[in-house]
Amino acid sequence: MNRETAIQKATALVEQMTVEEMASQLRFDAPAVERLGIPAYNWWNEGLHGVARCGTATVFPQAIGLGATFDEALLGEVADAIATEARAKYNQAVQDGDRDIYKGITLWSPNVNLFRDPRWGRGHETYGEDPYLISRLGVRFIRGLQGDGEHMKTAACAKHYAVHSGPEALRHHFDAVVSQKELWETYLPAFEACVKEGQVEAVMGAYNRTNGEPCCAHSYLMDEVLRGKWGFQGYYVSDCWAVRDFHENHKVTASPEESVTLALSKGCDLNCGCTYQRILDAYRAGMLPLEQIKRSAIRLFTTRFLLGMFEETEYDQIPYEVVECQAHLALSERAARESVVLLKNNGILPLNKAQLKTIGVIGPNANSRAALVGNYHGTASRYITVLEGIQDYVGDDVRVLYSQGCHLFKDREEPLAQPGDRLSEAKAVARHSDLVILCLGLDESLEGEEGDTGNAYASGDKRDLALPESQQQLLQTVVETGVPFVLCMMAGSAMDLNLASESAAAILQTFYPGARGGKAIAEILFGAAAPSGKLPITLYRSVADLPDFTDYHMAGRTYRFLKAQPLYPFGYGLNYGDAQVTAAQADAASYQALTQHGTTLTVQLKNRSQRPAEEVLQVYVRVLGSENEVPHPKLAAFQRVTLAPGAQITVSVPVDAAAFSTVDDTGARVFDGTGAALYVGFGQPDDRTLALTGKPSVEITIGQ
């Protein structure tokens, strides 16, 4: 069904409603209108990395792990699987008359905010810190959720619009102040791509204000940009209870009725929360025109018609059996394998189990289900932790000793014991092992959304990059044993890896790898699979290198504006193979040609090892001769490549013309350079990446 037809049907239906009925449909928990044959519908559902909060579903790696795959095609497959399971669960729920929350087919995902500061607790819901990477993965994820059928498979939602990335504790009254240059250079590109390329059906407004106006009632962002410049035609939804913040926290209105009037006047169609229960009060007081209520109702029913809610669709026969089916579980395991980033390897990996008698597995995340899934997750019927993955892989061939080592964040595991009550056991396990797999990090109780779990940091954010004190003591204890150890850092954000980078034999950044992520990690440890993920974020040495958390200016943040050298850079990740870019050529001969058509690179690659190499080819661009260019070359293209042992291949990599533009102080995207430098390799063209990999990027200069 095309949108024009859906709008016509929605308009005809809404025209039959009373104002009371229209108003009721602007709540997330819209009641039935029985006289018109409209069933109740709860709009609130989540599909960040699997259908969430509704019982059993395939639990894929958390979004930050999906970002580490740098794999657009994979994101499309994952999203399609999520949409399939959402439809299956919806079909069954409707059949059983269950219209409860989290059972609909409007999925409030993906989160395409930019991970600007590693302290932000919700950063692991995002795809990372680069606007281009987020854009490419977000667009593909949206297309996977919405499908290409006659009806939408599910309706995706790009959130949280816009300029939103913490602090969580301040979000209900915080004003994120940014320049027009930073707005259009950093904070809006992913949303623009999701709307214009992905045709996303919904956009969710953020809690905070941006440059003075609340994001759920923002004249510039919602009216001028979203529906004006970008031509967005879907529905706009508030973050949950954000409209209430207008009068209670932002103080831009004096009453719920004023908040309702402001939100609807700016085009916030759907209220996740309770404030829109006051729509009729505002209407009867003469504050709110009927046409604004009707406009939002038509938009919402347009979405419902596009989803085919009032007729038969091609998705009605999706059976319940697709939920957590073997194909989806295999896809989840593939995503987990692609998401793991090898940060350091002194040659200990991959492990050879034939040469091992005893392995020690230590750490509070070694046997933790919570450390597999991040937040906004569903429930798996089976979890495979790192400990279980290793035990399953080695079987009876290798003895596996285990110690939790410490509580995730408390100073003792047993309430009546003394502090550090598991450290001596960890020391014993290490001393009786040939090597140790040490699993540290966080879970959703330590980094997440404000109020999610009542975590140790109250707001959901981190205070700094340090591990909890209990884990710092455990790490030091393992280091002091002198036993070789491999660190698996299971966290959704940058952590302090300074000591580990000096002392560990190898480091894997596993993020939150999904319900069966332990199997994928074991396969990588033992070489049945190779690590191929790349960092979608910068791993900083210290928060001392960063501006204040509340400062939304980009100077000193993320790889594009970094001033201090990182510990591990964005785009970095090692491999068991040894691929190299041997040559690269561009088909454009002038800067003018780049600005008009972009370019296609012909890249020659060689695997110099006898191991297969799966790599992520990356292209970075710096516009020359422009005062508007960001300080460091920016990601402009990426492509996964696989090389057999000793193989030589040639690949073509398109680079869009937009990569050769900059953003001026007014927020306009301009082509003001005199030339461009392109860097082709397996990471950034920076000194730290070169020092870690020993592989320089191939540079191509055009113009200048």
Residues designated catalytic: 239
β-strands 669-670, 662-663 pairing: antiparallel
Q: Indicate the DSSP class of residue 27.
A: B
Residue type at 608?
R
H/E element holding 615?
strand 613-624
Distance, in Å, from the CA atom of 359 to the CA atom of 253, rounded to the nearest integer, reads: 62
Burial 398-423 (b: 16+ CB within 10 A, else e): bebbbbbbbbbbeebbeeeeeebbbb
Distance, in Å, from the CA atom of 62 to the CA atom of 470, rounded to the nearest integer, reads: 25
Three-state DSSP class for residue 472: helix
For residue 342, which of 170, 140, 509 has the smallest C-alpha distance? 509
Q: Dihedral sign, CA of 165, 170, 174, 179? A: negative
For residue 652, which of 571, 598, 596, 573 has the smallest C-alpha distance? 598
Could you tell me if 305 and 278 are in contact, meaning their C-beta atoms sit under 8 angstroms apart? Answer: no
Look-up: residue for tokens 């095609």?
73
Residue 415, token pair as written in the block: 């309430």
What's the angle, vertex CA 54, arms to CA 511 and CA 319, rounded to 5?
Answer: 105
The number of residues in the chain equals: 704
What are the angstrom distances between the C-alpha of 34 and each of 9, 38, 202?
18, 6, 26
Distance, in Å, from the CA atom of 485 to the CA atom of 349, rounded to the nearest integer, reads: 11
H/E element holding 196?
helix 189-196
107: Cβ–Cβ under 8 A, 6 or more apart, which residues?
Answer: 45, 46, 47, 51, 82, 83, 86, 145, 154, 155, 156, 157
What's the angle, vertex CA 405, arms to CA 400 and CA 411, rounded to 5?
Answer: 170
What are the angstrom distances between the C-alpha of 108 and each of 27, 480, 687, 690?
15, 47, 40, 40
Could you tell me if 330 and 338 are in contact, meaning their C-beta atoms sit under 8 angstroms apart? Answer: no
Q: Dihedral sign, CA of 224, 226, 227, 228? A: positive
Distance, in Å, from the CA atom of 397 to the CA atom of 356, rounded to the nearest integer, reads: 9
222: Cβ–Cβ under 8 A, 6 or more apart, which residues?
Answer: 205, 236, 266, 267, 268
